[in-house]
A and B are shown apart, each in its own frame.
Chain A
Amino acid sequence: MNAAQDSRAADDQDGGWTGAVRRGVARRLPLTDLLPTHQPSYVRSWTYVFGVIAIAALVWLVVSGSILAAFGPQWWHHSSKGRFVNSLHYWGVQVFFVFMVLHLWAMYWGAAWRDGRALTWMVGTGIFFISIPAAFTGYISQQNFDGQWIAVNAKDALNAAGIGAFFNPLNFGQAYGIHVVLLPVAVVALVALHIVLVRIKGVVRPLGAPPPGTTPSRSP
């Protein structure tokens, strides 16, 4: 064993927290699981396509939202290109919610939290619940009478719920910051965690399907 191999062998067992993290990641999520080329047959289902469409919509929301943030309210209200991108952003939200909810329905009725997947389920529902204020703060970030009307009504609702001391919908700067930074970062981070958890645990078996290894193997 040469010096380089000695060093590598020692590094496999040592390396402080960096080495520990590397070994933990390699143990929990090997590249073959992170980027699998084969999946069980039951993954060929429209219900998972719904989840992928929701992720595609989220990507488009980030792209169109970044363009809107760069050019500002005057552009998105008073130029044809701005109104077009604004519409893309709005309809992207509709696509995101429709397909996220369809995916959520399928996972709920399929009891997708089985076999140690509770965290995957909870992160998924967390994405749903965080997406709701993300959308609402978008409505009050429009900078038009519609946004003002929604903000005034939301202010009454939030005050009645005791949240008014922490969040004032009539404070455009606060609502806009929450809409374009805090909540999108949370949603994107949770979506990434959701995907990693799906890769770590694998896709859940359909209800009633026998565990792997208990089905009779095909004769050669």
Chain B
Amino acid sequence: MDTPAPYVHWAFVLISVPNLVLIAVMLAMFAVALLAPFPGHGDSGARRRKP
């Protein structure tokens, strides 16, 4: 915990590995959120208007 985090240096990109991992996890969560079925029951239907 008290040691500096390792860094990835690629061309002009300089980012710590923990930050890179966090961004990768967020992108994975975003993809899963779009693809994974949402739990629930039945068709709640478009019962509410408002365009």
Contact = CB atoms under 8 A, between A and B. Distances in A.
B9 interface: no
Interface string A139-182: 00000000000000000000000000000000000000000000
Given A41-B43, A101-B26, A47 B48 contact: no
Interface string A26-46: 000000000010111110111
A101 B46 CA distance: 27
Nearest to A205: B51
Interface string B19-51: 000100010011011101010100111111111
A79 to B, nearest CB: 19
Given A39-B44, A102-B30, A211 B38 contact: no
Given A38-B44, A41-B43, A98-B26, A47 B33 contact: yes
B44 A46 contact: no
A50 interface: yes
A41 B51 contact: no
Contact of A50 (B33, B38, B49): B33
A129 interface: no
Contacts, number: 55
Interface residues of A, number: 25
A41 to B, nearest CB: 5
Contact of B48 (A45, A46, A115, A202): A202
Nearest to A214: B51
A29 B46 CA distance: 19
9 contacts: A40-B47, A44-B38, A44-B40, A46-B36, A46-B38, A49-B33, A102-B33, A201-B50, A212-B51
Interface of A: 36, 38-42, 44-47, 49-50, 98, 101-102, 105-106, 115, 201-202, 205, 211-213, 215
Given A38-B48, A205-B51, 12 more contacts: A36-B48, A40-B44, A40-B47, A44-B38, A47-B34, A50-B33, A102-B29, A106-B33, A202-B49, A211-B51, A212-B50, A213-B49
Please give me the 4 A-B residue pairs with the lowest Cβ-Cβ distance, nearest first: A202-B50, A46-B33, A38-B47, A40-B46
Interface of B: 22, 26, 29-30, 32-34, 36, 38, 40, 43-51
